[in-house]
Amino acid sequence: MSIRNRNRNKNRTTPQPSAAWRGWLLFGAALIATFLLGLLAASILQRRAESRAVATGKPIAPMETDSSRWAVNWPREYDSYRQTEDSSTKTMYGGSDPRDYLAETPANVILFAGYGFAKEYRQARGHLHAIEDVTRTERVGPTTPATCWTCKGPDVVRLMADLGPEDFYRQTFDSLKGQITHPVGCLDCHDPKTMQLRITRPVIREAFEQQGRDIDKATHQQMRSLVCAQCHVEYYFKGKGDYLTFPWKRGMTPESMEAYYDKRDFSDWTHAISGAPMVKMQHPDYEVYHTGIHAYRDVACADCHMPYKTEGGSKFTDHHVRSPLLNIANSCAVCHRWSEEDIHARVETIQDKVREGRGRAEKVLAKAHFDIAAARQAGAGDDELVEVRRLVRGAQLRLDYVAASNGMGFHSPEECMRILAAAVEMAGRCRVECARILARHGVTEPIPYPDYRTKKTAQALMRAFAEGNPPNLLPAVAGPAQRDTP
């Protein structure tokens, strides 16, 4: 752009005007060049590429749920989208490999004791696997509501248009099995007529309305994140009709979500070890991202996860949505002029630190659940345990806000560390309070914590609690007490 501009100015100056004019012309040209350079910089920085609405070749049906039928017009986007099938990639903390979070961190079995996530908990894979993975997981059973389908693919857009959202959520998961077959695809994010990005899930529209905001007023750059926020967020099923809802009314921090859930007396399950009323955070990716430096600088999810790609001389959006660490040249290096190695190392350094903080919170929280169980065994009644259960619920909600959001804290490291600090502090307070309760009931020696160093031992332990024959957590009165093992 700037080169063309310079040539044009050279042509204009050929008639040899007076010296004063030449000065003014040079000054003007410099102004224009600066302005154009500024524009260029802004467009690079914010990737505010021209609205990329494309005139349709062949018309696509308004409810075309089969992404392969869109390929006639957009073969490049389709081919790159198909690559989300690859499940062989691994990064230090991510990638498309369905790693087993329970085997990796057996403390997770203790934290989610009595809930589906203690049976199976795996890392997410590419969009093309969404249907396959939700139908296969052990967490889905005969009583699961259809609400679980909402973020799995474009058939949901069609069914919601037919049934209305309320009736859609009221179905059971099983009853819609044959009707929802296409994984996350074109219709989830695009209007087939104009190809503009489009909000297709009522839940995010409603969440915006609750905050007094109008999602239709979002900028194009914001839409490049909001299409993702339809699914990559914390949510819950509200009331008897399992109406899909984001707990955003008071804000998107864990504190405001906790206040929201407390006010409604909401819990996902009762903890099998501590008996606390727990909340499982899903994957608050958008909420965490929203507090980070990149959101602050208007960098969108799509800038890193769907960067531009050039093939055969044409530039298009790479629809192979995946870990940006597998594609640093396109995802990061367009803005950051460091070497790929440096970028990679910097991300892992950030992630290592968040992982360390998370590990500490996991440890102290697992102990807190056992401390409450010990207090119960020592004879403490439910009324005595209200406060410690409230603390363990709050601490775990915070830890899980960080742990369940993808990217191991990269999206907003400071916010994640702040939240983990609060989790550790609350779990610590819970344990001090438990020690007091135990002392009131005559127990002053350390608790012999059971072994949960592998997924198998942790799951056996969880079953023992769930079946009502937990191990004895009270120290033998005379003998030397066992120390904290795991």
Of positions 56, 256, 317, 482, contacts ligand HEC by CB under 6 A: 317
Residue whose tokens read 């769930």: 466
Closest approach, Cβ 269 to ligand HEC, in A, equals: 22
* Residue 224 to residue 310: CA distance in whole angstroms: 19
Of positions 271, 305, 376, 393, contacts ligand HEC by CB under 6 A: 305
Angle (nearest 5°) at CA 282 between 318 and 242:
110
Compute the half-sphere exposure of residue 181: CA atoms within 13 Å on the CB side of its CA. Answer: 4
Token pair recorded at residue 314: 């044409």
Q: Is the dihedral of CA 66, 72, 77, 80 positive or negative?
A: positive
Residue whose tokens read 């949901």: 156
In single-letter form, the type of residue at position 423 comes to A
- From 427, 474, 469, select the one nearest 276 (Cα to Cα): 427
Which residue, 368 or 403, has its beta carbon nearer to ligand HEC?
403
- From 455, 371, 366, 454, select the one nearest 118 (Cα to Cα): 455
Categorise residue 275: left if φ over 0, alpha if ψ from -120 to 50, beta otherwise. left
Residue number closest to ligand HEC, CB atom: 94
Which residue, 188 or 258, has its beta carbon nearer to ligand HEC?
188
- From 141, 106, 131, 132, select the one nearest 121 (Cα to Cα): 106
Closest approach, Cβ 243 to ligand HEC, in A, equals: 18
Tell me if 70 contacts ligand HEC by CB under 6 A.
yes
- From 424, 482, 486, select the one nearest 455 (Cα to Cα): 486
Closest approach, Cβ 459 to ligand HEC, in A, equals: 22
Token pair recorded at residue 485: 């093992």
Closest approach, Cβ 458 to ligand HEC, in A, equals: 23
Of positions 158, 182, 280, 294, contacts ligand HEC by CB under 6 A: 294
Cβ atoms of 165 and 202 within 8 Å: the answer is: yes
In single-letter form, the type of residue at position 318 comes to D
Of positions 252, 279, 321, 447, contacts ligand HEC by CB under 6 A: 321
Near ligand HEC in 217-256, by CB under 6 A: 224-225, 227-232
| Selected range binding ligand HEC among 207-215, 257-265, 294-302, 468-476, rule: CB under 6 A | 294-302
Near ligand HEC in 466-485, by CB under 6 A: none
Near ligand HEC in 410-449, by CB under 6 A: 410-411
Tell me if 320 contacts ligand HEC by CB under 6 A.
no
Closest approach, Cβ 385 to ligand HEC, in A, equals: 37
Cβ atoms of 185 and 193 within 8 Å: the answer is: no
* Residue 376 to residue 378: CA distance in whole angstroms: 5
Tell me if 148 contacts ligand HEC by CB under 6 A.
no
Q: How far is CA 41 from the centre of its chain?
A: 30
List the x/- string, 185-224, binding to ligand HEC by CB under 6 A. Answer: xx-xxx----x-x--------------------------x
Tell me if 370 contacts ligand HEC by CB under 6 A.
no
Closest approach, Cβ 204 to ligand HEC, in A, equals: 10
Which residue, 293 or 476, has its beta carbon nearer to ligand HEC?
293
Terminal C-alpha separation, the chain? 62
Closest approach, Cβ 304 to ligand HEC, in A, equals: 3
* Residue 485 to residue 472: CA distance in whole angstroms: 15
List the x/- string, 72-111, binding to ligand HEC by CB under 6 A. Answer: --x--xx--x---------x-xxxx---------------
Residue 14 burial (10 A CB sphere; 0-12, 13-18, 19+)? exposed
Of positions 160, 184, 204, 391, contacts ligand HEC by CB under 6 A: 184
Of positions 213, 297, 436, 456, contacts ligand HEC by CB under 6 A: 297
* Residue 189 to residue 202: CA distance in whole angstroms: 13
* Residue 282 to residue 400: CA distance in whole angstroms: 8
| Dihedral angle, C-alpha 29, 35, 40, 44, nearest 10 ° | 150
Near ligand HEC in 371-410, by CB under 6 A: 406-408, 410
Closest approach, Cβ 280 to ligand HEC, in A, equals: 16
Near ligand HEC in 20-59, by CB under 6 A: 45, 47, 49, 52, 54
- From 293, 282, 70, select the one nearest 191 (Cα to Cα): 70
Size, binding site for ligand HEC by CB under 6 A: 75
Tell me if 358 contacts ligand HEC by CB under 6 A.
no
Tell me if 149 contacts ligand HEC by CB under 6 A.
no
* Residue 299 to residue 310: CA distance in whole angstroms: 20
Tell me if 354 contacts ligand HEC by CB under 6 A.
no
Of positions 163, 334, 421, 464, contacts ligand HEC by CB under 6 A: 334
Which residue, 285 or 433, has its beta carbon nearer to ligand HEC?
285
Of positions 120, 133, 206, 262, contacts ligand HEC by CB under 6 A: 133
Closest approach, Cβ 55 to ligand HEC, in A, equals: 10
Near ligand HEC in 113-132, by CB under 6 A: 124-127, 129-130
